Amino acid sequence: MKTSHVLRSWGRILQGRAPALSIEITRECPLSCPGCYAYEPNHLGGERTLRQLADFRGEELVRRVLRLIEETRPLHVSLVGGDPLVRYRELEKIVPALIAQGIHVQVVTSAFRPPPRSWAALPLLNLVVSIDGLEEEHNARRSPATYARILKNIESSRITVHCTVTRQMAERPGSLAEFLRLWSDQVAVQRIWFSVFTPQRGASPAERLSAEQRQRVVEELLALRAAFPKLDMAPSALRQFLKPPASPSACIFAKTTRTVSADLRTPVLPCQLGGDPDCAECGCIAAMGLAAVGAYRVGGLIPAGALFHASHWLGQKMGRLRRRRDAAPELVQIEPVLSGDSGIDPASAAP
């Protein structure tokens, strides 16, 4: 991550804003993968499910998403679902519009249909294709987005492969190496990421890994890095899978990413996974990457995470004051200390 991006993110945190925004851009998906957290009954807290939300399409979706971006001013936007490519026509307008604003965009899809060809040339776009293990298991879980269909659909694209390791995959010896070999050979694949399946608290789905399996997966991936350069995961992030954040309040990812569901209003809490995820068994690659950054000791002394949590606490206070000031400008006067006017605001720095 570039220093300018880190500084801009820090500026957002000090302003009480989340630097990252994740949008469940549609409630629709042609797949029904076992273990999919988006369609769990408690994903949105239990009152309504993703399928019950009103979502948008066409020009209205484009307009509403761009307005949300204007209001929240994120530096990084993740478009998830459902499957975002259900709305590929709208995304053909939304994605370039965000990139033109210097926003990093990530689209997470099953690649059940080809992504727009023009995306291959877009800077700041990361097209992430979810693949659940080796062909037999993946096809059983993710039909109609089978291996054959993905390989055909990504021919003209540049993609990141993202695999969530399930117990079924962890149980099969050599499956991680085989997976890496197969997808590393594809020209369209730029990098390969792994997450580990995250269960909800108190649940024991078939995908859940045992502690020993998790340990073995981490050790294996650490060893495979040398042979597969497309495996784009730092050792510090991989080791973090063995000591995930203790709770949402200790999770930098949860605190820096605001997630909204398909009506563009309903929040997804406490993190992108929604529901009641078991942080003790979290396997989210983004949470682990940021936890590894948080564990880094600035100047060899202070953990970056401590600086982050202090900045977040301060930013939340500043954000509340700002909102109160905006609501009644004549009543509350705030000096622009540490705000975007202070000169510290890295948000105005060039990307």
**Contact residues for ligand SF4, defined by CB under 6 A:** 29, 31-33, 36, 38, 81-83, 110, 198, 244-245, 248, 251, 253-254, 270-271, 273, 277, 279, 282, 284, 287
Nearest to 68 by CA among 101, 110, 107: 101
Nearest distance from C-beta of residue 243 to ligand SF4, angstroms: 11
CB nearer to ligand SF4: give 61 or 347.
Answer: 61
Nearest distance from C-beta of residue 179 to ligand SF4, angstroms: 18
Find the largest Cα–Cα distance for the chain: 67
Nearest to 262 by CA among 10, 1, 68: 68
Nearest distance from C-beta of residue 30 to ligand SF4, angstroms: 8
Nearest distance from C-beta of residue 22 to ligand SF4, angstroms: 11
Nearest distance from C-beta of residue 294 to ligand SF4, angstroms: 11
Residue 178 is given by DSSP the state: H
Nearest distance from C-beta of residue 346 to ligand SF4, angstroms: 25
Are 90 and 111 in contact by the 8 Å Cβ rule? The answer is: no
Could you give the CA distance from residue 166 to residue 38 in angstroms, rounded to a whole number? Answer: 17
Could you tell me which residues come within 8 angstroms of residue 313 by beta carbon, excluding any fewer than 6 positions away?
none
Q: Angle at CA 302, nearest 5°, toward 297 and 308?
A: 90
CB nearer to ligand SF4: give 129 or 318.
Answer: 129
CB nearer to ligand SF4: give 231 or 284.
Answer: 284
**151 to 112, 125, 147, 189, 265: CA distances (angstroms):** 10, 20, 6, 10, 35
CB nearer to ligand SF4: give 100 or 148.
Answer: 148
Q: In whole angstroms, what separates CA 217 from the centre of its chain?
A: 21
CB nearer to ligand SF4: give 244 or 346.
Answer: 244
CB nearer to ligand SF4: give 108 or 318.
Answer: 108
Phi, psi of 289 (to 5 degrees): -60, -45
